[in-house]
């Protein structure tokens, strides 16, 4: 990241750096502000992303540091694909309900980033889809509800039982994960950027994009 920032400085060009809520400690219930400097990364991932943020902000003035969370897109693995696959072989699924955030659809994020780099409104931003803060349990319930609505009846409530559990009860994660991934996005409209559509709408479009 530092090497790229150095080249951007040399060429006097803009840089976009995608970061994460993991630069914070994930505690409390208040949404994290984009200009908050109270960094306390929970794990190595968060530490490396914070190091990247600092490399950009200390080297450049023309930068957009955009923190995102709970990302899903057409390529690669993500939570939605994982849940859809698990439900094919399990009729009971335990999902944590004490980690709170908002999903981010890569398609919607990409549009925002293009809009952003065409301006000179530099600085720190938060970008997830709109639609409110939810738990992974809430997200799973909506994934299955929409999948069933699209004709995949194997995901209906009478076929798959989703059980809410705490992170402690679930217990499988090797890396510490934030309980509070709420990101305040009000800086986007304040600077003239169009907020992303709701995560419910994004999920609907995404399910129609993928094969499952």
Measured CA to CA in angstroms, residue 109 lies from 30, 42, 47, 175 at distances of 23, 25, 23, 26
Active site residue 45: yes
Catalytic residue among 17, 22, 39, 45: 45
Rounded to whole angstroms, the Cα distance separating 83 from 81 reads: 6
Tell me, what DSSP letter sits at residue 33?
P
Closest CA to 112 of 95, 100, 88, 129: 129
Closest CA to 160 of 85, 96, 97: 85
Quickly tell me which residue has 């944590």 as its tokens.
96
Strand-strand pairing, 100-101 and 161-165: unpaired
Residues forming beta bridges with residue 130, ordered by sequence position: 198
* Alpha-helix runs per DSSP H in the chain: 2-11, 44-59, 79-86, 106-117, 136-149, 167-170, 187-190, 199-209
- Active-site residue list: 45
């Amino acid at each position: 990241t530092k090497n790229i920032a150095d080249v951007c400085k040399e060429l006097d060009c803009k840089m976009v750096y995608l970061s994460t809520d993991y630069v914070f400690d994930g505690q409390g219930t208040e949404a994290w502000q984009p200009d908050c400097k109270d960094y306390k990364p929970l794990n190595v991932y968060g530490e490396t992303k914070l190091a990247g943020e600092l490399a950009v902000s200390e080297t450049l003035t023309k930068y957009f540091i955009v923190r995102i969370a709970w990302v899903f897109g057409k390529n690669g693995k993500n939570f939605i694909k994982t849940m859809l696959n698990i439900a094919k072989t399990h009729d009971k699924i335990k999902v944590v309900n004490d980690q709170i955030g908002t999903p981010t659809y890569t398609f919607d994020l990409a549009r925002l980033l293009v809009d952003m780099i065409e301006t000179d409104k530099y600085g720190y931003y938060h970008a997830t889809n709109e639609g409110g803060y939810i738990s992974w349990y809430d997200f799973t319930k909506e994934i299955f509800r929409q999948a069933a609505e699209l004709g995949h009846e194997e995901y209906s409530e009478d076929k798959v039982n989703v059980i809410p559990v705490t992170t402690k009860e679930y217990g499988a994660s090797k890396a510490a994960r934030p309980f509070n991934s709420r990101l305040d996005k009000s800086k986007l409209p304040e600077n003239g950027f169009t907020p992303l559509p709701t995560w419910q709408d994004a999920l609907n479009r995404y399910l129609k994009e993928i094969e499952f």
